[in-house]
Chain A
Amino acid sequence: MTEQIDKALAREYEAGFVSAVESETFEPGLDEDVIRRISEVKGEPEWMLEWRLKAFRVWQEMEEPDWAHLSYPKIDLQSVSYYSAPKSMKDKPKSLDEVDPELLRTYEKLGIPLVEQQMLAGIAVDAVFDSVSVVTTFREKLEEAGVIFCPISEAVHKYPDLIKKYIGSVVPTKDNYFAALNCAVFTDGSFVYIPKGTRCPMELSTYFRINEQNTGQFERTLIIADEGSYVSYLEGCTAPQRDENQLHAAVVELVAMDNAEIKYSTVQNWYPGDEEGKGGIYNFVTKRGVCHTNAKISWTQVETGSAVTWKYPSCVLKGDNSVGEFYSVALTRGRQQADTGTKMIHIGKNTKSTIISKGISAGKSNNSYRGLVRMNPGAEGARNFTQCDSLLIGDQCGAHTFPYVESRNPSAIVEHEATTSKVSDDQLFLCRQRGVDPEKAVSMIVNGFCKEVFKELPMEFAVEAGKLLEISLEGSVG
């Protein structure tokens, strides 16, 4: 049966094409000069450059972390190019008509039409291509509601006060090695501001695409939901199929003010490398949100891509009665490695957090959940519930659980459970006996395993995620 499932899992990476776009790309290498040049290309104000340089100096003192259950050769950061942008973007196209059609075609091929007539209704998209934002749709409509949704490089100019106040406020520069690196070299990403009492009229979404060879993508996203506001934000990403590893080190900061709610969903489908582990994206991401009084942040992620994933979307539950949620499906196959999970830091009274993590390991992959739940002394009446389930497909993979639970408040309650299971021969046989082909049966069983997480995704993404898993399990069982 294992053999059948393996076959089911062998899939094509559909987003693996390269776009023929002429780009301006920095020579590989990292020093202060490169950072100055990035800042210059972006036409940044002096304070932004200073912030970057400060981060760079902090980073130089830091060491690459090695505590994750991952093994990969040391990344040579001097061989990475830190900036690449399509030449056509140099003149900053004013409208879609001026955007290079090849760029638009790229996104269309990925199922993200950017042309107004074809756009998905109800979703505004910021399309980031290598180091620049190509286009942000529905901006006028959002502006009517007072919502700001634009590339972060633009926000630095237009909304310097907001950026100065919040950038690095959730993930400090010195937080970790990769976050510090990102602070120094970040190129683009999305900025969102939802005004007080506003329910964002549409879903916001950023689609990240790496195209150029030997480049890293270092994007930065900052979302501020002011008092009593609500926003649902989606993030997707893909990259071409290449034999070399490429680095992606992003930082995402969320600020949910009193009574605000942010729902952040990710479908991560970076190129995972081939069956033998050749190529693929190294995905080192720091995501964190801070919740003020009565606020709520909900992270949902479906991680199917990347050769290496190192990612712990977290919530700092600072305000009383605030709520943090983390719903995750991580599927690894081939030689993929994922070390992902969350941190829930309970500071305020009656704060609540829920963690549901579903890890699916197949092939020769390794899939780890790593999480921290901390109840600070002031977290009176706080609650956490954590459920980590692993599904192993085949006997060559690994599934691991590393939860840290720390409590310093006697009235706080923490519950953690973890289980492991496999797709059993009996389940498969029952499905087949009822006429369901094995491939469909495996994907149905896996989908059932992930159901609790999928129901948290916005509709459009739930469909995409389900399909992604199905594709992942395609060609399988014969």
Chain B
Amino acid sequence: MSEWLQQAIARADSIQDGFEDQRASSLALLKDIQWPTRKTEAWKYTPLRAVERSTAIFKEESPELEPVAVEGLEFLELTFVDGQLVSLPEELPEGLTIEMQESSLFATIKPERHVFGLVNDVLAADVAVVTVAEGVAIEQLLRINNLLSNGAQGHIRVVVDIKAGASLKVVENAEGQGASLTTAYTEYQIGAEANLEHYRFALQAGDNVAIGGSHFKLLEKASLNSSIIGFGSNLQRIDTDIIHAGEKADAKLNAIYLLDGTELFDLHANVEHAVPNCTTEENVRGIAGDSSRAVFNGRIHIHRDAQKTLAELNNRNLLMSNKAEINTKPELEIYADDVRCAHGATIAEIDRKALYYLQTRGVSRSQAQLMLSFGFINELIDQMPTAELAEWVRPIIRDRFAQMEVK
């Protein structure tokens, strides 16, 4: 067992609060768990050296940090700094509540035996429970900010319960400075005929280590539209689980990763079709430049009863450099016959014909490359339902491409 994990367990042993029962069982599991190595399937391409060597500490006092502004949007902000909840929205719209209380959903939606999920169970100091009352549509976006100061360690946890017929838009925003370390897990239950528009932005490149997940449970006729955009860092790992637990639920996931330098980014997307008549559509696109490493694992699991499932996964990657690497593993596990499931994965470089075509029109090679790479990613950004977020993220991605180009 790693020293880092031992310290985490030791710290957990000393924490006491209202979640004792659930945490106690997570702690027991954690004490029993194997620290992942290259031979652990879920960590095959993602070494944990960055965690093992992390010097990030739990700070007694944290600086004041503000989340980035997004033009044209006023969020309901739920802000954590170094793992501590520092601010809640002053006024909440009717039907929306945020409480620091026990939730029966805690630790029920994310996978049971994920080592960092368990660490988060026992170390997340403040667990925020967001509830949207039945039939209420919250128009304003709720933003969960996970801000970390240089060298800090913090663990945050949010549980979101969207009752039947309600709707909510959530942005998960992570901003880590310097060599910080964080785990950030969010569990969502989307009630019958409820819907969730979801974003997870992990745009903090650099020395930080960020591990976390967004986990969704969809009840009957629920719908989810999720967009994940990540840059790599010292170690960036996101797990997402979409669990179809009620019939006729519909999920759409678009994910993008853009890596540069020696960054590492790992996205594990798992979809469980436990009941019949649900649909899933996943589009995942990534670009790896310089000496970076991208890892994608996309699993679709169709249970025995999940007849009439429609599930598709498409993963496309561009490899920009001789030193970069892309590892992708789309998986299908199917136990029902009357289903339509497909996945596709490609790794290639930029279409040479398109590149040539642009060049014949007078565009420089590097400019043409930039245009084509951006177009490849932008197709998914265009699909983001909240236009202001798309407007905001587009120039950030453009800058990223420009940087990658310089090297």
Contact = CB atoms under 8 A, between A and B. Distances in A.
Tell whether any CB of A sits under 8 Å from a CB of B in the complex: yes
Contacts of B346: 413-416
Nearest to A398: B335
Contact of B336 (A395, A400, A415): A395
Contacts of B333: 69, 398, 400
Contact of B334 (A404, A409, A416, A420): A420
Given A67-B41, A408-B324, A411-B349, A420 B319 contact: no
Nearest to A423: B337
B239 to A, nearest CB: 18
Give the most central of A396, A410, A421, A422: most B CB within 10 Å.
A410
Contact of B343 (A396, A418, A422): A418
B307 A395 contact: yes
B345 interface: yes
Q: Which of A406, A408, A417 counts the most B-chain CB atoms under 10 A from its CB?
A: A408
A407 B288 CA distance: 11
A409 B319 contact: yes
B319 A401 contact: no
A406 B322 contact: no
Given A400-B333, A408-B325, A395 B304 contact: yes
B347 A407 contact: yes
Interface in B317-339: 317, 319-339
Contact of A416 (B339, B341, B345, B349): B345
Nearest to B320: A410
A443 to B, nearest CB: 18
Nearest to B333: A400
Contacts of A377: 322-323
- A-side binding surface: helix, strand, loop or mixed? strand
B326 A406 contact: yes
Interface residues of A, number: 37
A390 interface: yes
Contacts of A414: 345-348
Nearest to B311: A420
A186 B155 CA distance: 55
A394 to B, nearest CB: 6
A204 interface: no
A392 B317 CA distance: 30
Interface residues of B, number: 35
Contacts of B331: 400-403
For the residues of B in contact with A, the DSSP-based class is strand
Contacts of B340: 420-421
A250 interface: no
Nearest to A425: B338
A412 interface: yes
Contacts of B105: none
A414 B339 CA distance: 27
Contact of A422 (B321, B338, B344, B349): B338
A419 interface: yes
Nearest to B293: A408
Given A395-B304, A395-B336, A414-B348, A419 B342 contact: yes
A337 to B, nearest CB: 13
A286 to B, nearest CB: 19
Contacts of B336: 392, 395
Interface in B225-265: none
B136 to A, nearest CB: 39
A252 B343 CA distance: 32
Interface in A62-87: 67, 69
A414 B329 CA distance: 12
Contact of B337 (A395, A403, A409, A417): A395
Most buried by A among B41, B344, B345, B347: B347
Contacts of A422: 337-338
A422 B342 CA distance: 13
A416 B344 contact: yes
Contacts of B344: 415-418
Contacts of B334: 390, 392, 398-400, 420
A419 B311 CA distance: 10
A393 interface: yes
Nearest to A385: B346
Given A410-B349, A411-B349, A417 B342 contact: yes
A410 B329 contact: no
B342 A418 contact: yes
Interface in A327-386: 375, 377
Contacts of A402: 329, 331
Contacts of A67: 41
A285 interface: no
A351 to B, nearest CB: 15
Contact of A410 (B321, B328, B339, B345): B321
A394 B337 contact: yes
Contacts of A403: 329-331, 345
Contacts of A262: none
A395 B319 contact: no
B290 to A, nearest CB: 11
A405 interface: yes
Given A411-B349, A413-B347, A415-B346, A420 B325 contact: no
A405 B327 contact: yes
Contacts of B329: 402-405
A398 B333 CA distance: 7
Interface of A: 2, 67, 69, 375, 377, 390, 392-422
Given A2-B337, A402-B331, A413-B347, 7 more contacts: A392-B334, A398-B335, A400-B331, A412-B348, A414-B347, A418-B343, A418-B344
| Interface pairs A-B: 4 shortest CB-CB | A392-B337, A401-B332, A410-B319, A407-B347
